[in-house]
Structure 1
Amino acid sequence: MVIPRRFATLIAALAALVMVTAMQPIAQAAPDPGSHRYLVTGAKTPQQRSGLARTGASIDRVRDDGSVEVSAIPAEVAAIKRLGLKLSALPAEKPVPGLAATSYHTYAETLAEIDQTVANYPQIAKKVVFGKSYQGRDIVGVKISDNVNTDEAEPEVLYIANIHARERITDEQALDLIGILTKQYNSTARITDIVNSREIYIIPIMNPDGQVYDMTSDTQPGRMWRKNRQPNSTSIGTDLNRNFPYKWGCCGGSSGNGSSETYRGPSAASAPETNVMMNFVNSRIVNGVQQLKLFLDIHSNAKLVLWPFGYTYSNTVPGTMTSDEEATHRTIGTQMAQSNGYTPEQSSDLYITDGTTDDWTWGTQRSGTQRLFSFTVELAGSSFYPPPSQIDSLVSNNRNALLTLTEYADCPYRAIGKQAQYCSA
């Protein structure tokens, strides 16, 4: 068959176009913009800070002058500007020399210290593997009690730390508590009494994948990584402290953008690490009664003692926070703050959050008059990577506050003088 010249010319042109197109690189999805640090001024009230948090930006620290340090992606920066707030770039926070040495514990070193503690004090310390992270790492902690291998009818306490990977000092605080409770047993009366009358669970690294990633780089550790390492539709990572089912995504206290530092996940409890903690807490319900009486989530770096709720400004909530329960939280939190010099306040006094650990532990673990009183402590420090020379002083400053909290496990209502009403047999 003979093809007319005009058609032959058209076919040749189309063939050339196809060839040129085939040689072009295939369009790729836009890269994750990543977050950068900024200083925001003009957000001094809880409502203004909540508006700032509603953009999805991570509020990293509220300075004494009321300005706010945030980590934000470009879309969040634009949203902050639309609020009329002033925003200026901060230099990237870099870890100080020595972070990669023996000053801060790596994940492997933390596990080794746990193993050594259990070997040294087998009568009162037991290693517990609570579950696995997204990348398959063990989430490991310690149970401390006299008769540690027996589940006794004693009030229980749960401490977790390092749920946000970059908050390195929190692991050190948890390891210090483990050390104090074991090394001073039978030599310090206060410690001996606590260990003999409580069952204490401590998880130093709740987010091992994020911690390992944050502590590993081509130069030196300290990537300012916050989330876990679970891929999402646009990026990597879920903010584990926005992923819990209670009031998940309810109130503008988290982000639905996978690139955001406060990404809450595609659904409640979508992260394996979230489920590890939930499963353990739920496993401590024995004969319908929650054995855990106190919960503490250790964060940094804001010098605060916080209690529920984060999702609402209301101090009391019908059915989930009575005036006595609020007063108990406030009194214990204030006593802790008097010890460490921090500021005590309800979580929402800082800004609105949703899907958090202590809102979930308080909001869901309720049976009869039994409650799981829940707190967050935000450790001091001028950055997420305090100089190694400051570790001992920052950690030791909180020892008495943490021990005070543990002592209330027998009956938190004792703080307001109502133990006979709520805790009598």
Structure 2
Amino acid sequence: MVSFAVVGVVTLFAVNPADASPASPKYQQKSGPYVVRGVDSAADRNRVGGTGASIDSIENGAATVTATPDEARQIERLGFSISRTRTEGFPAADSGYHDYAEMQAELDRAAKAYPKIMQKLSLGKSYEGRDLPLIKISDNVAKDEDEPEILYDAHQHAREHLTVEMALYLVRMFTEGYGKDPRITRLVDTREIWIVPDMNPDGGEYDLTGGKYHDWRKNRQPVGGGYKGVDLNRNWGYKFACCNGSSSSLSSETYHGPQAFSAPETQRLRDFVLSRRVGGVQQIKAAIDFHTYSELILWPYGYTMNTTAAGLGSDQQKTFSALGHAFARSNGYTPEQSSSLYITDGSIIDWLWATQGVWAFTFEMYPNSPSKGGFYPPASVIDAQTARNRDASLTLAEYADCAYRVIGKQQLCATAPSPR
């Protein structure tokens, strides 16, 4: 039986699910099933069916098909994203984590429960055609108000599933706490809060294939030579591939891609951030990029060991450090400049600061050692380790109006504009 369903989605950017011509993956010699994304019209259905593949169901532009390997390759050559279906989620012991469908369902429930303060929007599509959800929380959520804006993003790296839980925690914190917790209520009333819960849904889903972990870090974009994946946090457009802080090897875990913003996922978030420039002024004032693991708070720059550099003067460095140490007092992480960990180039926080003047931090979450789970801590830690960042996340939002207040130089907010 073929089923059809249409679900409305609020979308900020229209995107093509096939953002690049995909290289052929190595299909196993089976008849399927596969999932084909971007099947949005009768013409699309006919093109897929014309290959000889059997269309088993269609829902929200995704078709489940039974196909031979040759038919699957034909579908891919037509420009559709195609991959094997997965019926398994997290391993049973870690079922407390949210896979992609469960995350979307929780976000949908929250948007329905709190329509006056929360909107579920979209950045656009991932390489394989999955929606990249974007959450807005504010007291007049349907209105673009002249208020400081904060960005929290998660899951640039596929195997770092705890960061999705962190984003979902923030959604619950700001919605469920509104009208009950004075601190949260004040922030929702005076800020516009943006949350990107899943920057890398393709990699995250692949990491769970077969109900077991695959230690996958990158996205799932074909890059040539039979390899897949760009490290999203080396694909940003400031000091891209400059300083031996990423790799040009297609097989490397830190492969930066052929050029800055070659990954659809980084393009989508970049375009959103740039859309928040109003009258030439960036409205997003502060940001946290959540990762795992090591229990660290990192700030720019990652590309150089120097504590000051172009666009990062002494007062700015002191402000980053003071904020980082303030966060650390509540979550117990170690605060340090990003390059103190190791040199990275093409990172999101360097781009956010150097090109947009956003006070941007990376939080490397629990644990602090491989012995406690490494990239795959047990689900039993989710509640404690996400709540651990409650105060730091709120503190960032409180300083978004004038970060220099943390060093007692609030006059700089008016006299010393951040880099653009």
Q: Shorter-normalised TM-score: what interval?
A: 0.7 to 0.9
1:153 aligned onto 2:146:
yes
Q: Work out the CA distance in 2 between the residues paired with 1:165 and 1:260.
A: 15
Q: Report the aligned-residue RMSD.
A: 1.4
Q: Deviations over 1:139-172 (max 9, x none)?
A: 0021000000000000001110011010010000
Unaligned runs of 5+ in 2: 1-25, 27-89
Contact 1:296–1:377, Cα closer than 8 Å, also in 2: yes
**2:386 paired with 1:398:** no
Do 2:91 and 2:212's aligned partners in 1 also have CA atoms closer than 8 Å?
Answer: no
Q: What are the superposed Cα offsets for residues 326-379 of structure 1, whole Å, 9 maximum, x if unpaired?
A: 1111000110011100100000011100000001111111xxxxx211100000
Of structures 1 and 2, the one with the larger relative CO (CA 8 A, separation 6+) is 1
Counterpart in the other structure of 1:290: 282
**Equivalent position SS for 2:396:** helix
Partners of 1:198 and 1:224 lie apart in 2 by 37
1:192-248: per-residue Cα shift (whole Å, max 9, x none)? 00100100000110011111111222xx23211100000012310000000111101
1:213 aligns with 2:206: yes
Amino acid in structure 1 at the alignment position of 2:93: G
Residues 21-420 of structure 1: pairs in structure 2 closer than 5 A: 97-99=92-94, 101=95, 103-217=96-210, 220-234=211-225, 235-318=227-310, 320-365=311-356, 371-381=357-367, 382=372, 383-420=374-411
> What amino acid is aligned across from residue 169 of structure 1 in structure 2?
L
> Runs (4+) of structure 1 moved beyond 4 Å?
none
The answer for the alignment partner of 1:7 in structure 2 is none
Report the Cα distance in structure 2 between the residues aligned to 1:159 and 1:373, rounded to whole angstroms. 12
Structure 2: how far apart are the matches of 1:96 and 1:215? 8
Corresponding letter in the other structure for 1:352: I
Identity score, percent? 52
Q: Distance in 2 between matches of 1:236 and 1:354?
A: 20
Question: Which whole-Å deviations, capped at 9, do the CAs of 1:100-121 have from their partners, x for residues lacking one?
Answer: x2x0001111111111101000
Contact kept, 8 Å, 1:334 with 1:344, in 2: the verdict is yes
Task: Tell me what 2:45 maps to.
Answer: none
Give the SS at the match of 2:212: coil
SS of alignment partner, residue 263 of structure 1: coil
**TM-score, normalization: structure 1?**
0.74
Give yes or no for contact 1:96–1:387 (8 Å, CA) kept in 2.
Answer: no
What is the distance in 1 between the residues matched to 2:160 and 2:253? 14
Deviations 1:303-344 (A, max 9, x none): 0000000000111113x1011111111000110011100100
Residue 96 of structure 1: CA displacement?
A: 6.8
Residue identity in the other structure for 1:113: E
Tell me, in whole angstroms, the C-alpha distance in 2 between the residues paired with 1:201 and 1:288.
20
- The structure having more radius of gyration, on CA atoms, is 1
Q: How many residues align?
A: 322
Secondary structure class of the residue paired with 2:335 = strand
